[in-house]
């Protein structure tokens, strides 16, 4: 019986070693899987951060352009308002000068009234 027990003991030891090796392989695979998941999550986070930065940069550029256009439109509006004010002032001055001219009985425009006409 002793001759039979040596191969059985060897077989049991080999089985235990095989199970231990399989357990180590399984644990290693789990660890590798966890590392891959962590790397994928880190890569996704980095990609998201990159795109968020690009979007923020594009938004800032768009806001700057809007601000520049607003400033330009305000400048144009101020210039136009000043030109309208000047034209209204010239019209008022011309009306005053026209009222100051004598009402002659002659037909047509007098030389003074012609001079009041715009070029």
The rounded percent of the chain whose pLDDT value lies above 70 is: 82
Distance CA 80, CA 3 (A): 115
pLDDT digits (tens, 9 = 90+) for 53-78: 999 999 999 999 999 999 999 999 99
Question: What is the rounded average pLDDT of the residues 31-46?
Answer: 96
**What is the pLDDT at residue 41?**
96
pLDDT at 118 over 90: no
State the chain's maximal CA–CA distance in angstroms.
156
Distance CA 94, CA 108 (A): 18
Report the mean per-residue pLDDT for the chain.
88
Distance CA 16, CA 22 (A): 10
């Amino acid at each position: 019986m002793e001759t039979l027990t040596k191969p059985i003991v060897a077989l049991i030891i080999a089985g235990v070693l095989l199970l231990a090796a399989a357990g180590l392989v399984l644990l290693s695979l789990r660890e590798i899987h966890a590392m891959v998941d962590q790397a994928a999550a880190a890569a996704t986070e980095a990609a998201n951060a990159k795109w968020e930065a690009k979007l923020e940069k594009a938004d800032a550029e768009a806001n700057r352009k809007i601000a520049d256009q607003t400033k330009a439109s305000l400048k144009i509006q101020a210039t136009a308002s000043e030109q309208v004010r000047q034209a209204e002032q010239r019209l008022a001055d011309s009306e005053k000068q026209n009222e100051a001219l004598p009402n002659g009985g002659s037909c047509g425009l007098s030389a003074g009234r012609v001079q009041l006409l715009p070029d």
